[in-house]
Amino acid sequence: MATVENPVVEYTPEEVYGLPALKTRGQMHPRTKRLVPEVIDKIRELDLIRPAYSYNVVDIEKRSLNGVRLKGGWEITSPLLIHRLAGASQLVVGAITIGQALSEQVSSWFAVGDYSKAMILDAIGNDALFRLCQLFEDICETEATDRGILPSGSLGPGVDGFSLECQRTLLAIAEADTCGIRLLENDLMLPVRSLSVVAGLGRRIKRWSQAESCASCSSKDNCKLRRFDA
């Protein structure tokens, strides 16, 4: 049975002023800055950020050069997973989302020409998803501490060595439907701002941060979700 939670994710103007995606050469345009409080008010008024996550902790039964077989018969094919999670005895498989309302409001503002507000909201939505990633890593640390072992950092499909085709298996393990996530035919998720994530638990395992993951990602230069300078 998956663990399912609905955490609170809120923003102050000062937090939004610090988002790299809203800056050019390290500075935010004055007009953008003036609009930030209005966008935050709209988020609260319409409840645009609706975070949810679900996860399961699953034992690793067998490893190969290309992936792992988990208790329950699940198989994940990913050379990257095997490499990065060497030493793991269990996987924490999660699904996280901020819901669809924010993405729909972004589209609505773009449609009527409110481009600045749309871009501010888009950046907040991306950052909120990263906050949930950090929350997932905090959960993994708690799960590891309860077992007297160590957690790794987190990984997600869609990078070299970890195909998007794994997404269907990950979402099934995490019971993602319990937090409103479903998979489309093209292996993308709805709500749009959703992620599947995996971390390892073990006695001898390497841990890394989200910043280190961004730095080593082949898509870092073009990633809309990028939060860290890498």
Taking only the tens of pLDDT, the chain with its 230 residues reads: 778 888 999 999 999 999 999 999 999 999 999 999 999 999 999 999 999 999 999 999 999 989 999 999 999 999 999 999 999 999 999 999 999 999 999 999 999 999 999 999 999 999 999 999 999 999 999 999 999 999 999 999 998 999 999 999 999 999 999 999 999 988 889 999 999 999 999 999 988 766 666 665 555 555 555 554 54
- pLDDT score at 215: 61
Q: Is 93 exposed, middle or buried (0-12, 13-18, 19+ CB in 10 A)?
A: buried
Q: Are strands 150-155 and 90-97 parallel, antiparallel or unpaired?
A: unpaired
- pLDDT score at 230: 44
- pLDDT score at 214: 61
Distance between CA 117 and CA 16 in Å, rounded? 12
Q: Is 152 exposed, middle or buried (0-12, 13-18, 19+ CB in 10 A)?
A: buried
- pLDDT score at 194: 97
In the chain the domains, ranked by start, together with CATH numbers, are 3-222 (3.40.109.40)
Q: From the centroid of its chain, how far is CA 184?
A: 18
Task: Note the residue count of the chain.
Answer: 230
Grouping H, G, I as helix, E, B as strand and the rest as coil, residue 195 is: strand
13 preceded by cis ω (within 30°)?
no
Q: In which region does residue 180 sit, left (phi positive, over 0), alpha (psi from -120 to 50) or beta (all else)?
A: left
154 near 140, Cβ under 8 Å?
yes
- pLDDT score at 2: 74
Sole residue written with tokens 């020409």: 113
Grouping H, G, I as helix, E, B as strand and the rest as coil, residue 27 is: strand
What global pTM score does this model have?
0.88
Distance between CA 206 and CA 223 in Å, rounded? 25
Distance between CA 70 and CA 60 in Å, rounded? 5
- pLDDT score at 37: 98
Record the tokens describing residue 54, joined without a space: 């679900």
